[in-house]
Amino acid sequence: MATEALITLDRNRRGGRPTIRGTRIAVADILGWLAAGMSHEEIISDFPELQEADIRAALAYAADRERHSLIAAE
């Protein structure tokens, strides 16, 4: 499944922050858990509605946003 299909933006959900398809779990939440040292398995165990593809999509989304911010700054 493409990253775009897994990440959704809905201004009525989590203040318009990017979330994982139909959940209230924000991309920033996943990034924070990873930064805090949680493994993919721990995140999925705590949030069984997530799949490995969701975590990878969150990482890809963040990487893409970073690439675009660097391009815009040039």
Strand residues in the chain grouped as ranges (E): 7-8, 19-20
Residue 66 has pLDDT above 70, yes or no: yes
Domain residue limits, the chain: 3-73
Could you tell me the pTM of the whole model? Answer: 0.82
CATH class of the region 3-73: mainly alpha
- pLDDT (0 to 100) of residue 2: 55
Residue 73 has pLDDT above 90, yes or no: no
Residue 1 has pLDDT above 80, yes or no: no
Cα–Cα dist 37/17, whole Å: 23
Q: How far are the Cα atoms of 22, 53, 70 from residue 56, in angstroms, in the given order? A: 16, 5, 21
Q: What is the pLDDT of residues 5-64, one digit of tens each?
A: 799 888 888 888 999 998 999 999 999 999 999 999 999 999 999 999 999 999 999 999
